[in-house]
Structure 1
Amino acid sequence: MYLPPQFAAPHVEELHRIVREHPLGLLVTHSAGVLDANHMPFLLDTDAGSGGVLTAHVARANPVWREVGDGDAVLVVFRGVEGYISPNWYPGKQETHRRVPTWNYEVVHAHGAIHVRDDAAFVRGVVARLTRRHEAAQPQPWKMGDAPPDYIDEQLQHIVGLEIRVSRLEGKRKLNQHHQAPDREGAIRGLEAAGNTGLAEAMRSAPPWSA
């Protein structure tokens, strides 16, 4: 990933936050000379292994779990808040007209080794944890026990677990850190007016760049 120093996100806690808040990852694999990409929600366990462990599941009909080798190097991309920045939002544009459009975003790249876990206990655990995580905000959270046991057993037979032992995380937060304060604030106000409050908040939280 191209990573200018002003946009680097070196704090691992910040990278973990982005992954947890935006868990739909893009798994990139390479097999038989062909690149493949699959989208799936991941769970991050920062206490497992030296760099943490990502777990997920895929449909048994998805060939990706048969095509990767045990321990193959893979990449998982997590995209956080993002959005278009209009030069009209910069006060400096009105003075000099020397401003251009851009796109601001947060992204995390997780590099690691993939392991296929085609066993019922592992898959059941992944589904249970994913369910607890994403049902937590519901008024009456759904749980696996709400469905008939034979139905759950049947559904679990149709999926395969994946485990990725993370060896390296890199993060990028491109949030106008290198712009002057008036232009940064103008872009933040423009985003808020457009309804993109998540990106606006991220920009407020990013310290200005100083070389």
Structure 2
Amino acid sequence: MYTPRAFAVDDLHELQQWIRQTRLAQLVTFGEQGLLASHLPLLLKPDESANGTLYGHLARANPQWLELHKGAEALVIFAGEEAYVSPSFYPAKAEHGKVVPTWNYLAVHAYGTAEVFSDAARLLNVVTALTARHEARREQPWQVSDAPADYIDGMLKAIVGFALPIERLIGKRKLSQNRSPADIAGVRDGLAASDDVRDQAIAHLIPQGVSE
């Protein structure tokens, strides 16, 4: 990911927080079958790896797990908030007109080599933890144990788990930091006035008072 210094985020705690807030990540590998990508919910757990380890699972029928098993390096993309930035937001447009559209966004890229596993107990721990995470806000959370044990056993045979220690993290926060204070304020106000909640989310991330 191209990351100019002005947009780079190096704080590990912040990067890990972004990862945990991303409900669906993209796992990308390149191997004998070329580029492969899967959209997956993942868990981040602290451990002996300084950056933490990602846990997830793939369908056994998905050939991507074979690439992981062979040692292919993996890229995991955690895409955060994003919004289109119109040149009309910039006061500079009225001054000289030398402005073009762009996009503001948050993103984290995690790199590593995964360990693949099929152990039923270990797989059950992963799917149980993932389920608990995403059911937590429901009034009556569904649990893996709610389903018949023999059915769950069969489902576990149809997936392959992986643990991916994060070897490298790249974080990017692009919020118009390369613009003048007046233009930054214009972007914040323009996005805040939008009726699109995605635009509003980005607006709330742009610090107040940058024009002072």
Q: TM-score, normalised by structure 2?
A: 0.90
Determine whether 1:200 maps to 2:199.
Answer: no
How many angstroms apart in 2 are the aligned matches of 1:33 and 1:152? 31
- Residues 77, 110 of structure 1: 8 Å contact kept: yes
Q: Which stretch of the first structure deviates more once superposed, 76-85 or 138-147? A: 138-147
Q: What does residue 188 of structure 2 align with?
A: 188
Q: Which consecutive residues of structure 1, in runs of 5 or more, have no partner in the other structure?
A: none
How many angstroms apart in 1 are the aligned matches of 2:178 and 2:46? 31
How many angstroms apart in 2 are the aligned matches of 1:33 and 1:70? 12
Q: Once the two structures are superposed, what CA deviation does each residue of 1:155-208 show, in whole Å capped at 9, x if it has no partner? A: 222111011011111111111112222211221122122222221122238x96
Q: What does residue 22 of structure 1 align with?
A: 22
Q: Which stretch of the first structure deviates more once superposed, 196-205 or 158-167? A: 196-205
Matches within 5 A, 1:14-163: 14-32=14-32, 34-163=34-163
Q: 1:54: how far off?
A: 0.3
How many angstroms apart in 2 are the aligned matches of 1:36 and 1:102? 28
Matching residue's letter, 1:147: A
User: What secondary structure, in the 3-state scheme, does the structure 1 residue paired with 2:92 have?
Assistant: helix
Misfit runs of 4+, over 4 Å: none
- Residues 86, 100 of structure 1: 8 Å contact kept: yes
- Residues 26, 38 of structure 1: 8 Å contact kept: yes
- Residues 45, 52 of structure 2: 8 Å contact kept: yes
Q: Once the two structures are superposed, what CA deviation does each residue of 1:115-148 show, in whole Å capped at 9, x if it has no partner? A: 1111111111111111111111111111112222
Matching residue's letter, 2:75: L
User: What secondary structure, in the 3-state scheme, does the structure 1 residue paired with 2:78 have?
Assistant: strand
How many angstroms apart in 2 are the aligned matches of 1:69 and 1:150? 27
CA 1:24–1:74 in 2, change beyond 3 Å: closer, same or farther?
same
CA 1:204–1:121 in 2, change beyond 3 Å: closer, same or farther?
same
Q: 1:88: how far off?
A: 0.7
Aligned positions, number: 207
How many angstroms apart in 2 are the aligned matches of 1:68 and 1:145? 29
How many angstroms apart in 2 are the aligned matches of 1:137 and 1:65? 31
Q: What does residue 170 of structure 2 align with?
A: 170
User: What secondary structure, in the 3-state scheme, does the structure 2 residue paired with 1:152 have?
Assistant: helix
Q: TM-score, normalised by structure 1?
A: 0.91
- Residues 40, 56 of structure 2: 8 Å contact kept: yes
Matching residue's letter, 1:96: H
Q: 1:92: how far off?
A: 2.2
Q: Which stretch of the first structure deviates more once superposed, 114-123 or 191-200? A: 191-200
Paired-residue identity, %: 44
User: What secondary structure, in the 3-state scheme, does the structure 1 residue paired with 2:9 have?
Assistant: coil
Q: 1:89: how far off?
A: 1.3
